[in-house]
Amino acid sequence: MVDLVFLQAIGGIATAVATIALVIILFRTVKQLEATVVVSKVQTEYRFRPWIGPNNSIKVLPTNSDGRQQFDVGIRNFGELPAEYVMAYFKSGNNMLSRTDLKSDNVEQFNLGPMLPNMEKHYWFWIDSEKMQKAKEGTEKIFTAIYFEYPVSGGKSGYGMISEYIPEKNGFNHKDMWVETPTPLNHDNKK
């Protein structure tokens, strides 16, 4: 009889240990699934979306027949999803521009339309020949601000750059470049 009671006790202890082990395994499985959900969310927000940005620097094109100097900014969708439409905002001036200047009323706007993944498009802007001549003589400076905005899940995203014309190089130096994303993607807003 003693052997039967002893075997029952060992069986009860083995069942308790197996139950505890099963609970630990289930707990770890749930934690692993939570981590998988977080990774999937990050991947969806960052990878599976359009990413619009420049694919080169601002290029100088030939002067138009009306005497204005033409410039070209090539952009590309580096993301894995198409952008429904891309809006370009442009402003130029003689003083250093800021990001908030692109939100003023006198900003040029142009709808570049949709962009498929890996698609490239070009945005052109013009500067009067008189301003260009003054910049080349060193009597005036030229600053440009360009911003490309496009919808993504959760809001709008964009890429901007503020540049200064350098006559010696007949090109632009970027003074400020930035990417804007909807609030859920901004690291600054995370708690």
pLDDT value of position 191: 41
67 and 23 in one domain? no
113 and 166 in one domain? yes
pLDDT value of position 150: 94
8 and 79 in one domain? no
Domain count, the chain: 2
65 and 37 in one domain? no
90 and 115 in one domain? yes
Q: Which domain holds residue 20?
A: 1-46
Cα 19 to Cα 22: distance, rounded to the nearest angstrom: 5
182 and 148 in one domain? yes
**Which CATH number characterizes residue 162's domain?**
2.60.40.10
pLDDT value of position 123: 94
31 and 115 in one domain? no
pLDDT value of position 106: 87
144 and 105 in one domain? yes
pLDDT value of position 189: 46
Q: Specify the length of the chain in residues.
A: 191
> For 47-157, where are the alpha helices, taking DSSP H only?
129-137
58 and 13 in one domain? no
Considering only CA atoms, which of 83, 126, 133 is closest in space to residue 108? Answer: 126
133 and 183 in one domain? yes
Mean per-residue pLDDT pooled into runs of 10, the chain (191 residues) = 78 91 92 86 71 89 84 92 93 92 88 95 92 91 95 88 92 92 58 41
69 and 42 in one domain? no
